[in-house]
Amino acid sequence: MKSDNEKLVSQIISETAGFEAEKLLEYVVNKFGSKVALASSFGAEDQVLTDMLCKVTNEPVIFTLDTGRMPQESYDTAQETREKYGIAIEFMFPDYRRLEQMENQFGPNLFYESIENRKLCCNIRKIEPLKRKLAQLDAWICGLRAEQSVTRTAQAKVEWDRAFDLIKICPLADWSTEHVWEYIREHDVPYNKLHDKGYPSIGCEPCTRAVKPGEDIRAGRWWWEEPIHKECGLHLGKRAENEQDDKK
């Protein structure tokens, strides 16, 4: 028997079958109102979604996780986006006491030393602030695409987020990289200038580098780790969920 959450997700999937990205966003905004928000890191996909949201509502709810280690280009994109669309973007910050404790114990570059340390840093700087925000919502919107990495190949447009207990909407799940950039050019969408410097995926400055020709688009994220480990915990992924189920 399906749970109430599964029934709701099934209902949304049924009612939005065949919807393009903007139509899906319009649907979820009408359904959830201020209880649905876009999580933006100011990458290309998030900028596309911001542009679409501003077309379907005058009061988009958009937030970002300011880890304290973001590159300046991401802040520049945030400012340009605020000014172009005349919108507010909420900045969520880590608990400074947790940051102080972590860096005093492990040092500022702990993430290079082990996967465990890197995940601790991601948890304090990203996951904990994200949980605070998601606790206020019924659904969240993400810029995930299936082709981005091996951990996202099964990404659906609508699903129940088991990690955070709410609905997750990924309108661009079936978009290609080319489709994203065609939209940005056609609609004159502000974008992060690191994309022009070989950064297809952008995160914290110390954990992101430009990719080399022929490399995977997320090869520059935590480049010292194996691809299967390259998630910070924001997006568990179907593969990880299945592995967890196998362990039960």
Which residues are known catalytic residues? 232
Query: Which of 58-61's residues contact partners 24+ apart within 8 Å by CB, and which partners?
Result: 59/34, 60/29, 60/87, 61/34, 61/36, 61/37, 61/90
Can you state the percent helix, strand and coil of the chain, rounding each to 5?
A: 50, 10, 40
Q: What are phi and psi of 34, to 5 degrees?
A: -75, 0
Torsion sign over Cα 246, 232, 227, 161? positive
Contacts of 224 (CB under 8 A, 6+ apart): 112
Partners of residue 207 on adjacent β-strands: none
d(Cα 77, Cα 65) in Å, to the nearest integer?
14
Rounded to a whole number of angstroms, the CA Rg of the chain reads 18
d(Cα 226, Cα 219) in Å, to the nearest integer?
9
